[in-house]
Amino acid sequence: MSITQLVGIFLASILTENYILCKFFGICPFLGVSKKLDTALGMSAAVTFVMVLATAVTWPIYTYILVPNEFEYLQTLVFILVIAGLVQLVEIVLRKYMPPLYNALGIYLPLITTNCAVLGITMLVLDKGAEDPAFGYVASLVNALGAGIGFLVAMVMFAGVRERLESCDIPKSLRGLPITLVSASLVACSFLGFSGIVDKLLQ
């Protein structure tokens, strides 16, 4: 796979296939953690890290262990356990060797196991690989990194929107989550404008 194609995959997964705003993965942290800019950054950094790591681990497990033994149907079960174990391991390693990073990401890590964006990316890259044999390990990792960055972009943008919302006079029934969802809808509208941009850029 050429560099141009990899750049295309990377940009597409940030803009046109944005995990939160176009594919609806990881809506819970998107709504829960996007109130403040620093927590939004911490959460998305942790998600990006785990996404890439989980893809790096589950891809070989699926391709070299599950497929040759015809255990494809165990995919869901194996992946969720691998991700849960991985998150625990990352937590332990960070606590022992990188305390500053642990203090920054630590509280978000347990929440990531149940974040569907992580399980989603590990399965989606395998689906893409099944359709197009050229979509191999490197392309999967690039896609996972792009999806993580796309998550970060959406979270940070939306944290800004929500800070503005704080000072607005909102009708009583719309206060809280409803107005947040309506503003998310407008942010998603702007991401619709990106459709087709990546193909045009790389032509």
Residues at the interface with other proteins (CB under 8 A): 21-28, 31-33, 35, 39, 73-77, 80-81, 84, 107, 110-111, 113-116, 119-120, 123-124, 127, 172-182, 184-186, 188-189, 191-192
Which of residues 23 and 56 has its CB atom nearest to other proteins in the complex?
A: 23
Which of residues 7 and 78 has its CB atom nearest to other proteins in the complex?
A: 78
Q: Least distance from C-beta 151 to other proteins, angstroms?
A: 13
CA distances from 182 to 4, 40, 83 (A): 36, 19, 32
Which of residues 1 and 84 has its CB atom nearest to other proteins in the complex?
A: 84
Which of residues 173 and 203 has its CB atom nearest to other proteins in the complex?
A: 173
Q: Least distance from C-beta 4 to other proteins, angstroms?
A: 27
Q: Least distance from C-beta 85 to other proteins, angstroms?
A: 9
Which of helix, strand or coil describes residue 96? helix
Q: Where are the alpha helices (DSSP H) in 72-195?
A: 75-97, 99-105, 109-112, 116-131, 137-165, 177-192
Q: Which of 153, 116, 162, 136 is nearest to 11 (CA)?
A: 153
Based on the number of CB atoms within 10 Å of its own CB, is 150 exposed (0-12), middle (13-18) or buried (19 or more)? Answer: buried
Copy the structure tokens of residue 142: 């690039």
Which of residues 4 and 99 has its CB atom nearest to other proteins in the complex?
A: 99
Q: Least distance from C-beta 2 to other proteins, angstroms?
A: 27
How far, in Å, CA of 133 to CA of 155, rounded? 32
CA distances from 113 to 19, 118, 166, 200 (A): 17, 8, 30, 36
Q: Least distance from C-beta 26 to other proteins, angstroms?
A: 7
Q: Least distance from C-beta 97 to other proteins, angstroms?
A: 21
* In the block, residue with structure tokens 């619709």: 192
Which of residues 2 and 173 has its CB atom nearest to other proteins in the complex?
A: 173
